[in-house]
């Protein structure tokens, strides 16, 4: 998407300081949890983490459908939202 629309970016520089620090803290905590577990506990944590990430992406796509002003990109976000909803429901 960014290749076709160079003005779009996902750089974290556009996030507030609080959001950046929160994401860094979550990343450090998640890394520590994964490093300290193994076996079934590791698998459970991994699946829960993936489900959480999928839910976040699903909701981001939902918000983008409402915010997007270009028809082509709105279609992209609507399809993305539908794919995430399908995956999240399985």
Per-residue pLDDT of the chain (90 residues; tens, 9 = 90+): 667 776 666 665 677 788 889 989 999 999 999 999 999 999 999 999 999 999 999 999 999 999 999 999 999 999 999 999 999 886
Determine the pLDDT at residue 20. Answer: 84
Determine the pLDDT at residue 15. Answer: 72
The beta-carbon contacts of 54-62 under 8 Å, at least 24 apart in sequence, are 54/84, 54/87, 54/88, 55/88, 57/84, 58/84, 58/85, 58/87, 58/88
* pTM of the model as a whole: 0.69
């Amino acid at each position: 998407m960014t290749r076709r629309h160079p003005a779009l970016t996902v750089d974290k520089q556009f996030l507030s300081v609080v959001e950046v620090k929160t994401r860094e803290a979550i990343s450090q905590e998640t890394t520590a949890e994964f490093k300290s577990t193994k076996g079934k506990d590791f698998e459970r944590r991994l699946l829960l983490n993936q489900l959480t990430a999928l839910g976040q992406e699903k909701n981001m796509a939902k918000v983008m459908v409402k915010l997007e002003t270009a028809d082509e990109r709105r279609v992209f976000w609507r399809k993305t939202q539908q794919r995430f909803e399908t995956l999240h429901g399985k």
